[in-house]
């Protein structure tokens, strides 16, 4: 039976092996808490705007979003606040970037792209952190679950915008 510490080490090793120089990724984790890892081979990432994710799960509470994403996506998710409002990144199989047919819904980042991946123990703000940390090596999200989540969030936002527009028109009358 693995201890949590041993499991975390195995997951960390799986992640750093995505880098052509794993020791560089380890050094970045040590000094910055986040390592830039290349996407497209070991895993890819789907970029999901926070407003869409929050609309889909009907919450912007960090805890509630984490629980919902864990249940709905079934894999690892990173949050990065560097972009206004923040961005979620759902990790998926590396080859998915080659066949991703949903760029109109959410962009899949693959070969030629790097992602800031936090140390396994970075599971809360500040900075980039795991919303849903990997539970085992290769703990990736299901692409269909990601597209369903994004479509639901976009629909919810469109309905809210439509309701707001109607309310503004009615106030003018």
What global pTM score does this model have? 0.91
Q: What is the pLDDT of residue 23?
A: 97
User: How far apart are alpha carbons 137 and 13 in whole angstroms?
Assistant: 9
pLDDT tens, residue by residue, 124-145: 999 999 999 999 999 999 999 9
Q: At 19, list the tokens.
A: 């880098």
Flag the least confident range among 14-23, 46-55, 78-87. Answer: 78-87
Q: What is the pLDDT of residue 170?
A: 53
Q: What is the pLDDT of residue 164?
A: 64
Q: Residue 37 has what DSSP assignment?
A: E
Q: Are 132 and 6 in contact (CB under 8 A)?
A: no
Q: What is the pLDDT of residue 171?
A: 60
Question: Would you say residue 166 has pLDDT above 80?
Answer: no
Q: What is the pLDDT of residue 99?
A: 84
Q: What is the CA radius of gyration of the chain?
A: 18
pLDDT tens, residue by residue, 74-126: 999 999 988 767 999 999 999 887 888 888 878 999 999 999 999 999 999 99
Q: What is the pLDDT of residue 82?
A: 80
Q: What is the pLDDT of residue 96?
A: 85
Mean pLDDT of the chain: 92
Question: Would you say residue 168 has pLDDT above 80?
Answer: no
Q: How confident is the model at residue 147 (pLDDT cuts 50, 70, 90)?
A: very high
What average pLDDT does this structure show over 55-62? 97
Taking residue 86's Cβ as centre, other Cβ atoms within 10 Å add up to 18
> Domains of the chain: which residue ranges?
4-172
Residue 69, CA distances (Å) to 120, 151, 153, 156, 158 in order: 17, 14, 12, 16, 21
How crowded is the C-beta side of 167, counted as CA atoms within 13 Å?
Answer: 6
């Amino acid at each position: 039976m693995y201890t949590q510490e041993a499991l975390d080490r195995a997951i960390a090793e799986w992640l750093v092996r995505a880098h052509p120089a794993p020791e560089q990724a380890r050094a970045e984790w040590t000094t910055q808490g986040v390592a830039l890892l290349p996407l497209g081979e070991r895993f890819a990432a789907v970029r999901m705007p926070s407003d869409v994710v929050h609309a889909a799960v009907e919450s912007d509470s960090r805890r509630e979003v984490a629980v919902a994403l864990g249940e709905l996506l079934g894999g690892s998710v990173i949050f990065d606040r560097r972009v206004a409002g923040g961005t979620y990144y759902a990790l998926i199989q590396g080859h998915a970037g080659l066949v991703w047919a949903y760029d109109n819904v959410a962009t899949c980042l693959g070969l030629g792209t790097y992602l800031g991946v936090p140390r396994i123990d970075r599971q809360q703000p500040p900075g980039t952190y795991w919303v849903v940390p990997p539970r085992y090596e290769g703990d990736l999200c299901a692409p269909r679950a990601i597209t369903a989540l994004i479509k639901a969030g976009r629909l919810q936002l469109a309905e809210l915008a439509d309701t707001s527009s109607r309310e503004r028109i009615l106030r003018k009358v």
